Structure 1
Amino acid sequence: MTENKKRQRWLAAILKIFVFAAVVGFVTFSVQSYQAKKEAEMMAEMRKSEREKTGFQTGDREAVRVYNGKEYRQNTLNTVILCVGVDTSGAVEQQKVSGAGGQADVMALLIQNRATDEVNILTIPRDTMTEIRLFDLNGNYLGTDVQHLNLAYGYGDGEQESCELLTEAVENLLGGVEIDGYVSVNMSAIPVLNDLVGGVTVTIDDPGMEERDPSLPYGETVTLHGNRQRPMCATGHQCFPERHFKNGSPQDLREGVDGASHE
Structure 2
Amino acid sequence: MAKKQKDKKAKKKLSLMDRILTIISVILIVASVGSIGYVAVMNWQPLSELDQEGNAASIDDDIQNDVNIKKKVTNFLVTGIDYAEGTGRAKLTDVIMVVSFNMETNEINILQIPRDTYIGTEYPTGKINAVYGNKNKGGIENVARVIYDRFRLPIDHYVTINMDGFVNVVDAIGGVEVNVQESFTLEGVTIKPGLQTLDGIKAEKFVRERHSRGGDIGRINGQREFMAALVKKLKGLSLGELTSLAPTLMKNVTTDMNVKTLLAFAEKAMKLDMDNMKFHMVAGEGATINGYSVWTVHKEVLAQTLNDNFRPFSDPVPASELNITEVRNTTNYYDNNDVTVDDLLGSGSSSSAN
Structure 1 length as normaliser, TM-score?
A: 0.55
Cα distance per residue 1:138-195 (max 9 Å; x no partner): xxxxxxx88211111111589xx600011100111212x2101111121101123324
Partner of 1:44: 53
Q: Provide runs of 4+ in structure 1 moved above 6 Å.
A: none
8 A contact 2:83–2:162 mirrored in 1: yes
- Point out where structure 1 has 5 or more consecutive residues left out of the alignment: 1-39, 53-57, 63-73, 91-98, 135-144
Task: Within 5 Å, give how 1:1-263 maps onto structure 2.
Answer: 44=53, 59=63, 61-62=65-66, 77-89=72-84, 102-131=91-120, 147-156=126-135, 162-175=139-152, 177-195=153-171, 199-208=175-184, 216-218=191-193, 220-236=194-210, 237-238=219-220, 240-241=223-224, 242-246=279-283, 248-249=298-299, 250=302, 251-260=304-313
Q: Which amino acid aligns with 2:144?
A: T
C-alpha distance in structure 2 between counterparts of 1:75 and 1:255, whole Å: 17
Partner of 1:16: none
Q: CA deviation at 1:79?
A: 0.9
8 A contact 1:131–1:169 mirrored in 2: no
Q: Alpha carbons of 1:213 and 1:104: their partners in 2 closer, same or farther (altered >3 Å)?
A: closer
Q: CA deviation at 1:109?
A: 0.9
SS of the equivalent of 2:139 reads helix
- Point out where structure 2 has 5 or more consecutive residues left out of the alignment: 1-49, 211-218, 225-278, 285-297, 317-354
C-alpha distance in structure 2 between counterparts of 1:262 and 1:172, whole Å: 16
C-alpha distance in structure 2 between counterparts of 1:100 and 1:225, whole Å: 22
C-alpha distance in structure 2 between counterparts of 1:110 and 1:88, whole Å: 23
Q: CA deviation at 1:260?
A: 4.8
Higher strand proportion (structure 1 or 2)? 1
C-alpha distance in structure 2 between counterparts of 1:201 and 1:111, whole Å: 26
Q: CA deviation at 1:234?
A: 2.8
C-alpha distance in structure 2 between counterparts of 1:232 and 1:186, whole Å: 15
8 A contact 1:107–1:125 mirrored in 2: yes
Q: Which amino acid aligns with 1:202?
A: V
8 A contact 2:84–2:90 mirrored in 1: no
Q: Which amino acid aligns with 2:178?
A: V
Q: CA deviation at 1:87?
A: 1.9
C-alpha distance in structure 2 between counterparts of 1:121 and 1:132, whole Å: 27
Partner of 2:295: none
Q: Alpha carbons of 1:107 and 1:197: their partners in 2 closer, same or farther (altered >3 Å)?
A: farther
SS of the equivalent of 1:203 reads strand
8 A contact 1:129–1:147 mirrored in 2: yes
Q: Alpha carbons of 1:254 and 1:59: their partners in 2 closer, same or farther (altered >3 Å)?
A: farther
Is the radius of gyration larger for structure 1 or structure 2?
Answer: 1
SS of the equivalent of 2:161 reads strand
SS of the equivalent of 2:114 reads coil
C-alpha distance in structure 2 between counterparts of 1:132 and 1:183, whole Å: 27
8 A contact 1:75–1:258 mirrored in 2: no
8 A contact 1:81–1:183 mirrored in 2: yes
Count of aligned pairs? 181
